[in-house]
Copies of this chain bind each other. A is one copy, B any other.
């Protein structure tokens, strides 16, 4: 089965349609019914980051979401138009103390904890690409 791909402008109004699509494609790919919400939360954290941090909410810039079902797993790639290299170990540990009450900074932590595997790279064109792997049971 070929990859399903969605590209949306960096505008918050497109988040909900994307979330709905991700769950439906996840279902077709074989993700369990009660895991679909977690899948879409994890992916949408990355999509929102792409829109906000990668593309600065410029509606002329797009975020791409590619989903592919492979044996035993679904691979999701989220790309934006920036070229970001994250700090080592980003989102591995929850904030502590003062930082616990920050307004933001929980997206990657959540995506990492919900998915089995998260990886940051640059696409061949040098763009920020976050790869998420969702295991199928």
Binding site for B on A (CB under 8 A): 1-11, 13-14, 16-17, 20-21, 24-25, 28, 59-62
Contacts and interface: CB of A to CB of B under 8 A. Distances in A.
Contact of A13 (B7, B14, B17, B28): B28
Chain A interface, DSSP helix/strand/loop, else mixed: mixed
A62 B3 CA distance: 8
Total copies of the chain: 2
Contact of A28 (B17, B24, B25, B28): B17
12 contacts: A1-B9, A1-B59, A1-B60, A2-B10, A2-B59, A2-B61, A3-B62, A4-B8, A4-B9, A6-B6, A14-B28, A17-B21
Contacts of A14: 4, 25, 28
A7 B2 CA distance: 9
Given A24-B17, A25-B17, A1 B11 contact: yes
A47 to B, nearest CB: 13
B5 A5 contact: yes
Contacts of A28: 13-14, 17
A50 to B, nearest CB: 13
Contacts of A59: 1-2
Contacts of A21: 6, 17, 20-21
Contacts of A20: 17, 20-21, 24
